[in-house]
Every structure is written in C-alpha cells, then in structure tokens.
Amino acid sequence: MPFSHHFCSNTLLSAVQYCSADAHEGMVPVCSNTAFRQTEGAVSNPEKLKNLYELVEPAFKVLDFHHPHQLKEGLEGFSLDLPDQPETLEQLLVDCRDTLKYGVSTGHPRFFNQLSSGLDVIGVAGEWLTSTANTNMFTYEVSPVFLLIEEVLLKKMRSIVGWADDEGDGLFCPGGTISNLYSILLARYHFYPEVKTRGMGALPRLAMFTSEHSHYSVKKSAAVLGIGTENVVVVKCDERGKIIPAALETSIATAKEKGLVPFYVNATAGTTVYGAFDPLNAIADICHSHTLWMHVDAAWGGGLLMSDRHRMKLQGIERACSVTWNPHKMMGVPLQCSAILVKKRGLLQECNKLGAQYLFQMDKPYDVSYDTGDKSIQCGRHVDVFKLWLMWKAKGSDGFGSQVNKCLENAEYLYDQLQKRTEFELVFKNKPEHSNVCFWYIPPSLRSLPPGSDRDRRLHQVAPRIKGRMMEKGSVLIGYQPLGTKVNFFRCVFSNPATQQEDIDFLLDEICKLGADL
C-alpha cells in the first residue's frame, strides 16, 4: 500500500488513539453531541469516537498554573533546558505529557477565555497529516493537492459570502491581523498601483476609517504599511458597539477638509469584546458614494454565515471589496486557519508578484497559474487548509451551522441567567447578537454602594482579582477588560460546542465563590 494511503487511513485512528491515551488526560478531544453525530459517519471506527465523546467530562482542570520562574526552574522531572546528549523515549513522553499538563486546555468546556477554543478530533487528524506532508504552499510543484483544496475552500467561502462564481480571489494566511493587513495593502494598491515601486512618497496623505470597537490590527497594519496610525480615523459607536453611520460620514468629510485622502473603511462583523455587528449595508452605501474600499473584518463573525438562523446578521457583507474570515474561531478549526477573501480577481497577484525565478518559472510542465505563492507577502506558507477541508467533509456545512447555533444558544442561556441573578450586572442590556456576553460580578460589599467613582474604582479591581484566584485554582477560565468608560468586566465567549449549560452554571457559581469576600 502506498505510504500516503496507509498514512491517511491510520491518521484518523491515530489521532483518536492519541487523544484517548492516559498520557493526554488533560485534553478534551471532541466537540458536542451534534458534532459527534456529524463526525460519526466519516471515520472507520465510530466506537472509538463514542468513547472520546464520553470523555467530555470537565473532571480535570482547565489549567495547572505556574509562574514563569517556576516553569524555568523545572518541575517534577520536567525541564525546559536543552541537553547535549539525547534523552530517552520515556523522557520525551514525559516532556510531551508535561507540556500539556502545564499548558492550558483550551479544548476544555470551561475555557471561555479566547475566541478560539475547542478541540475537534478530525481537525487534529488534519493537522497531523499536514505536518506529515511537511510541504509548502508556494507552488503546485510541491503542493498540488493542498493548492487545489485551497482553491475549493476559497470558492466555497466566497459563495457563502454571496459573491458571484466568476468573482473573487483569496489566500489563507497566518491569522486575522495578517488578513486585515492584506485588505489595506490591496486597497492602497487598487487606488495607487505606483506605491509598489515608488513607495509612500509618491502618494497623497491617505486616511482610513474603523470603529472604536474594531480590532487593533487595523491600526497595527497602518503602522506596518507606512500609512501611520495617526491617519487611522477612529469612528464612534453606539452603546451596543456598532459603528454610527452618520459619524462615519462626518469623519470622512472632516478628513477631506484637512487635506487627507480617504481610501478605506473597515467594518467589523463580530467585534472582539462586545460581539457587535456593524451595519454593513449603511457602510457600503457610504463607501459607494465616496468611492472607498470596504473591508469587512469577519474574523470572529464569519462563522455565523454557516448558520441559517444567524447569517442575516452579516447582511451587506456581499457588498464588501474584501473579507477576513477566521475558521479557527467560531468554526472550531485548530489554530491557525484564517482567510482573506478579495472580490477583484487578479489583484493579489498584481500587488504582490515579484516573480522569483527559482520558484515561479514560467516554463514548468503544468498550468503555472496554480503557482499561487506570488500572491502572498510571504515566501514559505504553511498548509492551513487541509484540517478545515477535512472537518467540512466530516460535518458538512450543516454540521458547522449546528455548532454555531449551539454556541449562540449557550450565550443566550448565560444572558438569561445573568438577568435572573442579583450578583451580576450586564454591561449592555440587549440580547447577545454573537456569543459574547459581557458582565460584572458585584461582590456583597459593593451591592449597596451608589453609582459613582468610588464604586467604579472598587469594581475595577474585582474582575482581575477573581481572575487571579481562578488561575490559581484552575477550575475555569474567562477573560476581562475595561472598555471606554466601563471599568473591568468579564467577557464570556462561546466557540466550543462541547460546553453545556451546566458549565455555564458552574462558571457563575465559581465567580460568586471566588469573589464573595472582595
């Protein structure tokens, strides 16, 4: 049997066995019951997967926290130091086990800390096969199947966004920040192709627009691309965190009056903290009337396009010139998996092409348009597509839709509980649109204080202190942050379909326990 066939059939089972092994008891290997059912028909040993499903019990810790100096000093036979002589296989297994043990189980159903979470066994198998193939996405010569898989995925994602079959282009790249950076790079090149050879000195002073709740990668990209963070105009949002279209209009007019040249607007579909969706159609109208590039950062919200119940929240995304969509967030694909989708075909290649002759020879014995590496700002590019493709095969589009629905149902359940319980206050009253739920825990000592600066000062300290205790105990993990005038509050996000309502009840009870004496 050819090696690749042998590998393919064994990889899924190996991943199952790997995840089932005692040595990896710190991992939660599967998704929800729904995901299990979606997965069941796709592998040759459903009995094993069933066992994995039964392992989804939050009986172990989310993390076993140690300070950096403790890990550096070494713990119970676990040392980070590099030896001169080879270690034994037994020691390597201990090293693997302890790396997971002292890390964080982001697949745990009580890990609510990050937008990317969960652990999908088919995704793990995909990552494993990818590493075994150990190849590079720059040419068809070395990645024939993966490049065609990328083409199939990008086409499918563009059609889900709502673009016509003959429109569009795209790339998978390392994370949402880089996807957003591509969007600005392409917008600038679209309006000013001379920038590629003559640089920013040949251009007028450009201005770009993004909301106060948008991701910091927009400003970071402006810095990287030589546009400058001062030329990123931050537009006001409403109470819910959505950009105010009239404020965008005013900002564009003000920038023009100051002699700046607007060229780009970033709209967000699913903001990082509030999970807000900007009004895409209103933004598209403004972009159309001023001839501006409209980008939609749907890194977080893009997953909702997979759900018939929720995709209307992104109405207007089809009018964008480019879209960022991270399947490693809401779709539960193992990190990293992020796409930049571009409506104008050929722009990526024109903008980034340099034609290195040692890679992109034009006289190769196949259709060299499949050598897509010159579209990228990287040379070497990791294969991020196979795990997504394999998961899509295993679940179908409907399976992803069910996962998304489950996560948003969890968010609604948490929202309902917070409304019922007097120990908590919601940061904004509206029902969640995405899976983000933002709230304060009010300890007994603060409950009778009147609103004002003294209460705010004390409340600001509550979330970080609870988080510290939570990390020491390791029972659950949730993030916090201040935002604008709001003092530190918890942000709970759901992207792991393994999370059940009892995990949400546990979270709230645990916060009450950990914070009762504050």
Write out the residues near ligand ABU by the rule CB under 6 A.
114-116, 176, 272
Q: Which of 242, 253, 249, 381 is nearest to 314 (CA)?
A: 242
CA distance linking residue 186 with residue 352, whole number of Å: 9
- CB-based contacts of 8, cutoff 8 Å, min separation 6: 129
Residue 128 or residue 480: which is nearer to ligand ABU going by CB? 480
Distance CA 263, CA 61 (A): 49
For β-strands 293-298 and 261-268, DSSP reports them as parallel
Smallest gap from Cβ 272 to ligand ABU, in A, equals 5
* CB closer to ligand ABU, 329 vs 381: 329
Q: How far is CA 448 from CA 328, 338, 451, 461, 465, in A?
A: 43, 47, 9, 17, 20
Amino acid identity at 444: P
Six token digits for residue 133: 């193939």
Residue nearer to ligand ABU on the CB measure, 141 or 297: 297
Q: For the beta carbon of residue 486, count every other beta carbon within 10 angstroms.
A: 16
Q: Which is nearer to ligand ABU, 125 or 273 (CB)?
A: 273
DSSP string for 48-110:
HHHHHHHT--TTS-SB----HHHHHH-BTTB--SPPSSPPPHHHHHHHHHHHHHTSB-TTSTT
For ligand ABU, the closer of residues 143 and 324 by Cβ is 324
Query: Least distance (Å) from ligand ABU to the CB of residue 334?
Result: 14
Shortest spacing between CB 278 and ligand ABU, in angstroms: 16
Write down the least CB distance from residue 510 to ligand ABU, Å: 20
Q: Are 172 and 384 in contact (CB under 8 A)?
A: yes
417 vs 440: CA distance, rounded Å: 13
| CA 260/CA 207 separation, integer angstroms | 6
Nearest distance from C-beta of residue 486 to ligand ABU, angstroms: 17
Taking CA atoms, 470 is separated from 7, 76, 190, 410, 512, in Å, by 41, 23, 49, 21, 11
Smallest separation (angstroms) from ligand ABU to the CB of 417: 22
CA distance 223 to 181: 10
Closest contact distance (angstroms) between CB of 115 and ligand ABU is 4
CB of 177 to ligand ABU, least distance (A): 7
Q: Cβ closer to ligand ABU: 178 or 320?
A: 178
Nearer to ligand ABU, 11 or 106 (CB): 106
Residue 15 vs 178, nearer CB to ligand ABU: 178
The answer, yes or no, to whether the previous bond of 417 is cis (omega within 30 of 0) is no
DSSP letter (8 states) at residue 237: B
Measured from the CB atom, the residue of 175 and 373 that comes closer to ligand ABU is 175
CB of 36 to ligand ABU, least distance (A): 25
How many Å apart are CA 348 and CA 375, to the nearest integer? 5
Q: What is the largest CA-CA distance in the chain?
A: 78
- Secondary structure element (H or E) that encloses residue 232, with its range: strand 232-235
Are 462 and 449 within 8 A, CB to CB? no
Between 38 and 116, whose beta carbon lies closer to ligand ABU?
Answer: 116
Minimum distance, C-beta of residue 248 to ligand ABU, in the bound complex (Å):
23
Q: Nearer Cβ to ligand ABU, position 415 or 480?
A: 480
Using CB atoms within 10 A of its CB, is residue 105 exposed (0-12), middle (13-18) or buried (19+)? buried
Q: How far is the CB of 284 from ligand ABU (least distance, A)?
A: 24
The span from the CA of 239 to the CA of 276, in Å, is 10
DSSP 510: H
Three-class SS of residue 353? coil
State in angstroms the smallest separation of the CB of 175 from ligand ABU.
Answer: 7
Nearer to ligand ABU, 474 or 479 (CB): 479
